[in-house]
Amino acid sequence: MPAASIKVPLAVKAGVTLAALVSLLGLTEYARFESAYQRQNADPYKVTAQFSRFADVRAAVPATATLGYLSDQPLGGTAGDALFNSAQYVLAPRLLQKDAAENLVLGNFTRQADFAAVGAQSGLHIERNFGNGVVLFRRDGR
DSSP letters, 64-109, are: T-EEEEEESS-BTBHHHHHHHHHHHHHHTTSEE-SSS-SSEEEEE-
In a domain, 113, yes or no: yes
Q: Please indicate, yes or no, whether residues 57 and 126 belong to a single structural domain of this protein.
A: yes
| Structural domain includes residue 1 | no
Domain count of the fold of the chain: 2
Average pLDDT over residues 21-49: 88
Each residue of 73-96: pLDDT tens digit? 999 999 899 999 999 999 999 999
Residue 76 lies in a domain: yes
| pLDDT value, residue 27 | 95
| Average pLDDT of every residue of the chain | 93
30 plus 84 within the same structural domain = no
Task: Give domain status of residue 2, yes or no.
Answer: no
Q: Is pLDDT at 63 greater than 90 in this prediction? A: yes
Query: Which residue range(s) make up the domain with 35?
Result: 8-42
With 0.85 as the threshold, say if the pTM is over it. no
Q: What is the mean pLDDT of residues 127-138?
A: 96
Name the band, by pLDDT with cuts 50, 70 and 90, for residue 5: confident
**Which among 66, 60, 142, 133 is positioned nearest to 97, based on CA atoms?**
66
Q: For residues 65 and 103, state if they share a domain.
A: yes
Residue-level pLDDT at 132: 93
Query: Is residue 55 included in any domain, yes or no?
Result: yes
Q: Is the pLDDT of residue 21 over 80?
A: yes
Asked whether residue 98 is assigned to any structural domain, the reply reads yes
> Do 119 and 70 touch, CB atoms closer than 8 A?
yes
Q: Clarify whether residues 116 and 76 are in a common domain.
A: yes
The verdict on 22 and 88 lying in the same domain is: no
- Closest listed residue to residue 110, CA positions, set 92, 134, 130, 128: 134
Is there a domain that residue 3 lies in? Answer: no
3-class state of residue 3 by DSSP: coil
Reported confidence tier of residue 108, pLDDT bands at 50, 70, 90: very high
Contacts 24+ apart (CB under 8 A), 28-34: none
Task: Tell whether the model's pLDDT for residue 71 goes beyond 60.
Answer: yes
Q: Same domain, yes or no, for 26 and 94? A: no
Judge if 98 and 135 occupy the same domain: yes
Sorting pLDDT into bands at 50, 70 and 90, what band is 109? very high
Mean predicted confidence (pLDDT) in 38-51: 82
